[in-house]
Structure 1
Amino acid sequence: MIHNIRISSIGSLILGFILLSCGGGSDEPTPVPVPAPGITTLSLPANNTACLQGTSATTTTASVIFSWGTASNAVSYQLVIKNLKTQISAAYTTTKTGDTISLAINTPYAWSVSAINSTGKTTSDSWKFYLSGTASSSYAPFAADLTSPASGAVINSNGAASVSVAFSWTGSDPDNDIASYALYLDNVNASTQVVASQTVTTSTQILARAKTYYWKVITTDKMGNTSISAINSFRIN
């Protein structure tokens, strides 16, 4: 009789181990994945705003109010502000849908907001504005955004001695009075002008293979104000 009891106990232990190994016997619910946050909509400062007046202004800075819409499933937000003169960005994290940041005046900026949760983050469009301490009748255009070729791109020549490369960019201006673009391109530092003046935002150049190229765009408005883009580099193999 004792022998039978021992066999029964051992059998129960083995059955319990099998159930645990296969996930049986657990009443814990399966975790529900957190959806990725939605994309927020930017509100203020408005895109391509000229002579934006901040609060608490000094001779060199002004406090700028940023605001944006609520993003679904967001736990926090990251505001990124890029100084378009220096190309330096600063990031600020908040749980609110707005923030007030002190910025240097007489400077163009770009800004965007990322909605964040445990799954990841989604980033809004990027907007631009010009923070001016005093009103002006004319503002310099924003630096052109270089679209293609992207920086670091590699173009395959497929063995040809030269290839046709299409350049494209986008321009914007607080006064909406862009007059022309100039394209600079070479193998050193983008200091060689290859297109002096044109109104379209594309250009096609025939370039030799096995070289690295650097390019930039200078934008000029109708009042003669100019802005210089960042420099992109690419290689033709």
Structure 2
Amino acid sequence: MKRILYFIAINFLIVLITLSCSEEPIPEPDAAILSSPANNSACLKGSSETGTIATVTFSWNEAANADSYVLEIKNLQTEQTTSYTTTSLTYSATLSIGIHYSWSVTSVNTTGKTTGSVWKFYLAGIAASNYAPFPAELIAPVSGAIINANGEASVQVSFTWKGSDVDNDIASYTFYLDNADATTQVIASQTENTTTQTLQSGKNYFWKVVTTDKVGNKSNSMISSFQIK
């Protein structure tokens, strides 16, 4: 009996030692803090290679518990996103000049991943006295949304967007909305970044916003679509 109790005690101690020596679970990584190119800036740095492209170096601060990073660069004109994976805190990418971009960094480890802030910049290449606004960010309705009219023939829909500009000189927004390709001008000029429209149910809608600055530079947002049932 004593021998049985002895073996039970030994096994119990082994379990305790194993549990006490086991590693703590690795927490998900923190978000990386972006450094450069600065947010809402005109990026003039980078080595021009052909006159139409330049190499831009992206940098960010180290994130706790991160094993690697995924840099995502989005061309705001074409809506195309390119991703790069690195263990470094910098990455150099070759981009087209004269384009607005957004970029973000996702911290990754074996437990999970965390995406931080999204910054924007304009790759000017050379200095200019004024730069075109960033394409407006369409916030609501979100693309692909289905709005329930609850049996009504029409419904009021609120549209919201966000504008930004390197020179901070946005003058107005032009609002386009129709059932085909967002080429019908509904509001020629307004300074507010929201509007409410009464729309018929049972139709698909497409909308966009053109941003104009004080010297006449313009930028087109992406086209967003939604449905009213």
What letter matches 2:188 in structure 1?
Answer: A
Aligned to 1:177: 169
SS in 1 for 2:47: coil
The Cα RMSD (Å) is 2.2
Structure of higher CA gyration radius: 1
CA positional deviation for 1:104: 1.4
The alignment covers a number of residue pairs equal to 220
Matches of 2:120 and 2:44, distance apart in 1: 11
C-alpha distance in 1 between matches for 2:201 and 2:24: 52
Q: Distance in 2 between matches of 1:52 and 1:85?
A: 19
User: What is the aligned partner in structure 2 of residue 150 from structure 1?
Assistant: 142
1:16-46 deviation line (CA, Å, top 9, x unaligned) = 9xxxxxxxx8675466432111111111000
Aligned match of 2:47 = 55
The answer as to 2:137 corresponding to 1:137 is: no
Deviations 1:93-140 (A, max 9, x none): 111111111211122111000001112211111111111222111111
Cα drift, residue 204 of structure 1: 0.2
TM-score, normalized by length of structure 2? 0.89
Shift of 1:56: 5.2
Residue 11 of structure 2 is matched in structure 1 by none
> Structure 2: how far apart are the matches of 1:93 and 1:86?
22
Map of 1:121 onto structure 2: 113
Change (3 A) 1:51 1:137: farther
Three-state SS of the structure 2 residue aligned to 1:70 is coil
Runs of 4+ in 1 over 4 A off after TM superposition: 25-28
Q: Counterpart of 1:94 in structure 2: which amino acid? A: T
Distance in 1 between the 2:176 and 2:119 partners? 26
- % identical aligned pairs: 55
User: 2:44 touches 2:126 (CA, 8 Å); kept in 1?
Assistant: no
Secondary structure (helix, strand or coil) at the match of 1:63 reads strand
| 1:167-209 deviations in Å (ceiling 9; x for gaps) | 0000011111111001111111111111110001000000111
Residue identity opposite 2:74 in structure 1: K
- Structural mapping, 1:10-89, within 5 Å: 28-29=18-19, 32-55=24-47, 57-89=49-81
Q: 5+ unaligned residues in a row in structure 2: which ranges? A: 9-13
Give the direction of change, closer, same or farther, for the CA distance of 1:212–1:56 in structure 2 (3 Å limit): closer
Structure 2: distance between partners of 1:126 and 1:221: 23
1:196 aligned onto 2:188 = yes
Deviates more, 1:203-212 or 1:58-67: 58-67
Quick one: distance in 2 between partners of 1:56 and 1:133? 7
Q: Counterpart of 1:208 in structure 2: which amino acid?
A: Q
Cα distance, 1:84 vs structure 2: 1.5
Q: Report the more deviating stretch, 25-34 or 201-210.
A: 25-34
2:156 counterpart residue number: 164
The equivalent residue for 1:4 is: none
